[in-house]
Amino acid sequence: MSANKCNLSNITAIALGSNLGDSHAILEAAIDVLAQMPATRVLSKSSWYFTKAVGPPQPDYLNGCALLQVEMIPEFLLEILLKIENNFGRLRNQRWGPRTLDLDILLYENRIIETPKLQIPHPRMRERAFVLVPLAEIAPDWIEPVSGLAIKELLKDVDCSDVHKEGY
């Protein structure tokens, strides 16, 4: 890995989602791919949650979150996540449309990044129960750097009625 793509170990939170194909198998396979990547270690993953889709009419999603330890800059991590999505057949035909796999960087340490290609923290995570519920399961005390609030505190401000743990 070149020096501009390498960084000392950082903790990042990512969201995973799928609503096309065998979503459970796709999400588990995506975790396996992440675990096998050089310079990446999966520290924990949440349960999977069924959630109502945001956007145009489409099937419900299966969502979750994972904490990764990475030795790369956020921009390079984004490139890798986009390649993984593509390898799982992700097509970008419609904004917020159905997808085989969606991978989003939610948090990267306590950094705030705003570039044309990347915003960290994820700009809509604070209003999305399908992100906050699984993230609170694995990182309830992580402070979201824009609001200064812990994930478990942010969760109190969203409607979680459409988020259901898989198997329940």
* Residue 99 appears among annotated catalytic residues: yes
27, HSE (Cβ side, Cα atoms, 13 Å): 26
Distance (Å, rounded) from C-alpha 83 to C-alpha 103?
Answer: 10
Catalytic residue flag (residue 22): no
List all residues 6 or more positions away from 155 whose beta carbon is below 8 Å from its beta carbon: 129, 132, 133, 136
Peptide bond into 123 cis (omega under 30): no
Q: Which of 90, 111, 124, 162 is catalytic?
A: 90
> In this structure, are residues 104 and 48 in contact, taking their beta carbons and an 8 Å threshold?
no
What values do phi and psi take at 25, rounded to 5? -65, -40
Active site residue 32: no
What is the rounded distance in angstroms from the CA atom of residue 134 to the CA atom of residue 66? 9
Question: 32, 102, 124, 159: which is the annotated catalytic residue?
Answer: 102
CA distance 129 to 158: 6
Q: Which of 108, 92, 87 is nearest to 55 (CA)?
A: 92
- Which entry of 92, 104, 157, 159 is annotated as an active-site residue? 104
Catalytic residue among 32, 99, 126, 128: 99
Catalytically annotated residues: 90, 99, 102, 104
